[in-house]
Structure 1
């Protein structure tokens, strides 16, 4: 047995291409010429085959990596005497395979070419969709069939990713149902005009729906020195989701303040009592407990919109925004209604630490019913948090401050906490939001009410 490195073959004129799919996993037994990864340039997508069969011992690349000729894809343990596949031909990446096929169909052959030796197997273009299971299925949406990339050019797929459009829901109007940029624009217009309930693949008549001017193209370097660096992976993913949520959800924000003078005194007392145990109670733990009580009283806030139906949830999984060096992530506290303040404080601290270290699993960021975004440790008086779809509301918390509050006879110094509640106006009206915020503020002002 020997360990063999399988590298990216000659990929033509491209310096680097991006990996959009990994088709094998460690432990798989592969055959020579079996597809290993799918890469995408600005012109085409292609699959890179194995030059050697064997058992996969190590993967050296992942989705999103940029690779070039000679980059090691993986290591395989090859059986003694196993023959390597012939060197792969340079893939012609200028056009997708479907275009080549259509040209061949349109141009009849008048002269039969002489017989030639069998060519080496070239990487298969991504428009060819063999039936197999991908180890990167976790990166795909549940309703998108694996190994069936949409019939669209790479530039159109990139355009769709920027707008947060699932190409599986768009019907193409181009040759052989190929999806075009105009199909993407029409789909977005339809979704914006109907609140996201547009039929799949439908288009709008010209002049209807919502449209905006193109993004300005500016040469910033002519005004002074600049530096360009790519967005982090977290910001790319969250940015697309935030864009979709802001455009698709009619946001309204209700602002209120809560008197947390007594609650802050209780927090400090608990921290003093549990100092030896190493448990630090934060205001977030109290907020989660109070939010759960408010969700029980106002169940429409613990729901999701599914077409014309409102899905009411009977569980209470609360997400909270965690600041990390690469951007915001939202860990989820499961069954928060069954946990005490000390347990919530300990769990939020552990999840926040995992988030900063980049160790959160996808499961730890799924299933949330309601989110809390706290900027209290940084500053600000109020803000408009963006709803985390498919939730229908999110609570923003700013920095608390001592303020003079009139008690009927005199002004008293009280610690006031700003609350900003953003809600989906399709589900929640202004009066309900004001009641929710006022009830939440009342719980924080007198935490004894939490047991009623």
Structure 2
């Protein structure tokens, strides 16, 4: 007997509600097949089966509140375990493709991520593939995931074409191995097959997920009030929540989510190109707008004379690289200066949770990085206890992984403060937007020689504008200005960092 327990629910989340059971006692289950869905106040978590077998009994029923590691159900193994995978797998269309085939499945996508979009297939049906050779790339709202071939053989069929939305644990393709590799497997109808022409929208044959249906029933909202964002127009639980929120905040007839597009002349329309937003870009857009709607964002500015930092860097950059194997950049100075200032103004390193203020006695520094797919913010954990060399190594390594699309979900979660460097693109001044639930973000800009008055004389100095955007609900103007002044002081006289002044 194998126990099914509540997984880790996320930072500071200790309990959840059992929303939906997808199986009932006596049902055969396969390894990693979804058993139930848990709902917290922040995310929805699907619980996969740890083994193949038969669902013996359900301990926590729908609606029950459960804690982390609480017992949800029991799975009986043995003879039933042999039948479960066979029952879960689609039947082959031809006898030759059954025994000599290996399924290509959607890998684990990360905590709270349940679906992805197939962005690119590197192979086509009939191509020979080697074991661990990359077959396709999936795109979630956070990261890109490459899917390797589980075995060598011939790509028999692709079940999820480019653009299809797939669930964690779903089937992507079939590889013919052994004798079956001599011919591609016959196509089989699956949940990911492209729908027939004329069935692009939701209809009587398109069924919403059980979690969405339950959410609509509990909220008392009709299906026509919910705009489905899933495949073929299916509604998700998030769509239901959005519809309920829209109804609650709009007693008068709701305005369209976006202003209607202005008419376009026919000759101009012929020269336009319409491209669907990637999941990452949609998430960026949603989060940035949520930040504006939720936080009381205010920005304060200052400028810093970079003379001393530049001189120190030029003097020691060769020795630094020779000893530590990484170049000495400006980001380590700014990271150190921010960690120093956050100790004096802790509210900039805090967050609001309901009616509480949560102060962080550590600094997990987010470093915004631009990638071909969009802006991501990898997090350097415990940056306040790291040396200049450790910070530079971490920034270089995470920047490289960000550009390659290799960052994991864990590497982009838990940040307490963020630094964004628009100067690398030539920005002279900007107002960064908060990265919720953080209360502060520092914007760096271009270093530019400007005439300054120093000691009664006009001299040319390398100057940079700094911008601190902060949540005015928790950070007062005095604290924001003090933070920015402390960063300025530390950069204009780096010795203050050594003396902790």
Structure with bigger strand share is 2
Q: Normalising TM by the smaller chain, what interval?
A: 0.5 to 0.7
CA-CA distance at 1:253 after TM superposition: 0.6
CA-CA distance at 1:124 after TM superposition: 9.4
Report whether the alignment pairs 1:444 with 2:491.
yes
SS at match of 1:377: helix
Judging changes above 3 Å, is the alpha-carbon distance between structure 1 residues 386 and 223 closer, same or farther for their aligned structure 2 residues?
farther
CA-CA distance at 1:345 after TM superposition: 0.9
Determine which of 202, 220, 226 is the counterpart of 1:156. Answer: 226
CA-CA distance at 1:206 after TM superposition: 4.1
Give the match for residue 273 of structure 1: 319
Determine which of 51, 56, 61 is the counterpart of 2:91. Answer: 51
SS at match of 2:425: coil
Spell out the pairing of 1:84-123 with structure 2 (5 A cutoff). none
Determine which of 126, 146, 159 is the counterpart of 1:71. Answer: 159
Determine which of 244, 254, 266 is the counterpart of 1:222. Answer: 266
SS at match of 2:424: coil
Runs of 4 or more above 6 Å deviation: 21-29, 53-56, 86-97, 146-149, 168-171, 210-213
Judging changes above 3 Å, is the alpha-carbon distance between structure 1 residues 87 and 279 closer, same or farther for their aligned structure 2 residues?
closer
Alpha carbons 2:229, 2:239 under 8 Å: kept: no
SS at match of 1:272: helix
Q: Which moved more, 1:392-401 or 1:275-284?
A: 275-284
Distance 1:270 1:154 in 2: 65
Distance 1:440 1:312 in 2: 20
CA-CA distance at 1:347 after TM superposition: 1.1
Q: Which moved more, 1:364-373 or 1:396-405?
A: 396-405
Q: Which moved more, 1:318-327 or 1:429-438?
A: 429-438
Report whether the alignment pairs 1:306 with 2:353.
yes
CA-CA distance at 1:186 after TM superposition: 2.8
Distance 1:422 1:410 in 2: 33
CA-CA distance at 1:421 after TM superposition: 0.5
Distance 1:76 1:349 in 2: 38
Q: CA RMSD in A?
A: 4.3
CA-CA distance at 1:237 after TM superposition: 1.7
Spell out the pairing of 1:349-428 with structure 2 (5 A cutoff). 349-428=396-475
Alpha carbons 1:51, 1:87 under 8 Å: kept: no
Distance 2:225 2:247 in 1: 17
Report whether the alignment pairs 1:294 with 2:338.
no
CA-CA distance at 1:274 after TM superposition: 2.8
Any stretches of 5+ residues in structure 1 without a counterpart? Answer: 1-20, 35-48, 79-85, 101-122, 130-145, 161-165, 172-178, 190-203
Deviations 1:58-106 (A, max 9, x none): 2269722399x9736444899xxxxxxx988999989989xx7xxxxxx
Distance 2:291 2:328 in 1: 32
Distance 1:211 1:88 in 2: 38
Alpha carbons 1:256, 1:420 under 8 Å: kept: yes
Distance 1:248 1:311 in 2: 17
Judging changes above 3 Å, is the alpha-carbon distance between structure 1 residues 314 and 393 closer, same or farther for their aligned structure 2 residues?
same
